[in-house]
A and B are shown apart, each in its own frame.
Chain A
């Protein structure tokens, strides 16, 4: 999701990094350009974000209905590792009504997915979202895009999935890595973790090796994450985390939320 003002400063760097790993990438804006951007029937502005999202999904459903199994919505300041998204979704069925992201607890009974961290809807979930608006079961009742979409998901019977890895580490992150990774002495939940549905962790356990996204990532950091993810590596290093190995499969992934 982007706009004319951000193409040079933000979206350009997404196009230069992770966008090409998507099977298909669409840059949603209020204006059609040669970037290329899709011009949706909206105006720019934070209070228009949910309208833009609704129109974006409607556009995709109208023009690309048979081109996808999953649809990822991300912002122009989100860094995404597409291979890890593929991996997270590989065990899921796109024909089922389900969506994944960083699950938040408040406002919506079943929880909702953080907008900034990016969320991904199954084919069926997209169909139900469109149907919701067609049948006026879902409306633009709030400008808070992620929460409002989450409410629509609940209304339309779309299940919020658990995107954590086999060690219970989060894969979608609404903030940059330094927010979570720095070890802190045990403390009460800081403000940026207050919404988390599953009990959050600070320090190295915060984040999966196969992380899918970070948010609030701008130009230099975008390339830096690209370099750290895809280029720089320790030669010969035997990584500790191997999700497919027999040992880790035996570890169960709890889905019950822990009370805050």
Chain B
């Protein structure tokens, strides 16, 4: 009996060690531990509310919402590209309720939170933590680099009817194996709850290390997606009521060129959404032109009966 028992015990021990090894190895792979949610994997989309949906809100509710959707912009800058920094500050940054610049190192010319950090993920990690701690009563967070151009009003419209106390992680989604993440270049939107959960999981150095493991170094956008996934927050694609993407990693010109080379019948219709939120890859001068094109140039007599009012920022001359 005893010899059988001891073989059994040895077998159990061996098996146990083997399992432990396997699970340890498993935690080193960039693959995901499957959680109940992604057994039923759906492609998540977030659409801007339609006018019907908005009209179901009463006028006082709409006015309340216009003022309630407030955005904290986390703009990740570097001194070596000062001109983009200055341009973001002088253009779209003014339309954020609060725009805070986070830099890898301090620069005398422009004001920023000095993260004193070169590693991309560590920078993002620190910036998001700082944003969470300093958000005041702002409930939506937009993370971008200054090479991105954003139309914050359209971002507010997209998340208008969403509760920031629910987790949202929105942008242009991409897939890498099983991981769905939001592309950094076209901007990342986080609700307060998503950020709260993220800051919480930051405390877990295993699940969400501040510095990426050197063996399997993931880009910061994928690292973010992974950390969020641990907390049950999944990437969702931001699109308009026609399904056109609102977050673009290309410039308007580039997207139009794509349309022209495809010989589209209507190049402009096929290009981009009327309520696009971001474009990327434009020069600082092109961004100044965008301010004019977006906030000023328009045909007389074309009026929209929008359900919300966003006022122009104070002390600004290019919008």
Residues of A within 8 A of B (CB): 16-17, 81-84, 86-87, 177-178, 181-183, 203-205, 207, 209-211, 219-221, 223-241, 243
B252 at interface, CB cutoff 8 A: yes
Question: Once the chains bind, are A223 and B317 in contact (CB under 8 Å)?
Answer: no
Q: How many A-B pairs with Cβ below 8 Å? A: 142
Kindly report which residue of chain A lies nearest to residue B62, judged by CB atoms. Answer: A236
Q: Cα distance A72–B144 when bound, in Å?
A: 44
Kindly report which residue of chain A lies nearest to residue B158, judged by CB atoms. Answer: A235
A238 CB to closest chain B CB, in angstroms?
A: 6
Residues of B within 8 A of A (CB): 66, 151, 153-154, 156-157, 252-253, 256-257, 259-260, 266-268, 271-276, 285-286, 288-302, 304, 306-312, 317-319
Query: Given the complex, which residues of B lie within 8 Å of A209, measured CB to CB?
Result: 296-298
Question: Once the chains bind, are B260 and A240 in contact (CB under 8 Å)?
Answer: no
Q: Cα distance A221–B253 when bound, in Å?
A: 7
Question: Once the chains bind, are B260 and A223 in contact (CB under 8 Å)?
Answer: yes
- Residue from A182, A225, A233, A241 in contact with B274 in the complex, judged by beta carbons closer than 8 Å: A233
Kindly report which residue of chain B lies nearest to residue A183, judged by CB atoms. Answer: B288
A114 CB to closest chain B CB, in angstroms?
A: 19
Question: Once the chains bind, are B151 and A234 in contact (CB under 8 Å)?
Answer: yes
Evaluate whether A204 and B294 lie within 8 angstroms (CB atoms) in the complex, with A81-B299, A223-B268, A235-B157 already known.
Answer: no
Question: Once the chains bind, are B311 and A238 in contact (CB under 8 Å)?
Answer: yes
The 5 closest A-B pairs by CB, nearest first: A228-B293, A83-B299, A236-B308, A234-B153, A87-B300
Instruction: Give 27 A-B contacts (CB < 8 Å), ordered by A residue.
Output: A17-B268, A81-B297, A177-B289, A177-B292, A178-B288, A181-B318, A207-B296, A209-B298, A210-B300, A211-B297, A226-B268, A227-B252, A229-B293, A231-B272, A232-B272, A232-B273, A233-B274, A234-B151, A234-B153, A235-B154, A235-B275, A235-B306, A236-B66, A236-B157, A236-B306, A236-B310, A240-B296
Q: Cα distance A181–B293 when bound, in Å?
A: 11
- Residue from A87, A207, A223, A224 in contact with B292 in the complex, judged by beta carbons closer than 8 Å: A207
Query: Given the complex, which residues of A lie within 8 Å of B286, measured CB to CB?
Result: 178
Question: Once the chains bind, are B295 and A229 in contact (CB under 8 Å)?
Answer: no
Query: Given the complex, which residues of A lie within 8 Å of B304, measured CB to CB?
Result: 233
Evaluate whether A203 and B317 lie within 8 angstroms (CB atoms) in the complex, with A182-B285, A231-B274 already known.
Answer: yes
Evaluate whether A229 and B297 lie within 8 angstroms (CB atoms) in the complex, with A207-B292, A223-B259 already known.
Answer: yes
Query: Given the complex, which residues of A lie within 8 Å of B260, measured CB to CB?
Result: 219-220, 223
Q: Cα distance A226–B274 when bound, in Å?
A: 12
Q: Cα distance A178–B310 when bound, in Å?
A: 26
A136 CB to closest chain B CB, in angstroms?
A: 41
Question: Once the chains bind, are B268 and A87 in contact (CB under 8 Å)?
Answer: no
Q: Cα distance A230–B276 when bound, in Å?
A: 13
Question: Once the chains bind, are A87 and B301 in contact (CB under 8 Å)?
Answer: yes
Q: Cα distance A83–B297 when bound, in Å?
A: 12
Query: Given the complex, which residues of B lie within 8 Å of A234, measured CB to CB?
Result: 151, 153-154, 294-295, 310
Question: Once the chains bind, are B272 and A227 in contact (CB under 8 Å)?
Answer: yes
Q: Cα distance A8–B260 when bound, in Å?
A: 13
Q: Cα distance A178–B266 when bound, in Å?
A: 25
Query: Given the complex, which residues of B lie within 8 Å of A229, measured CB to CB?
Result: 293, 297-299
Kindly report which residue of chain B lies nearest to residue A228, judged by CB atoms. Answer: B293
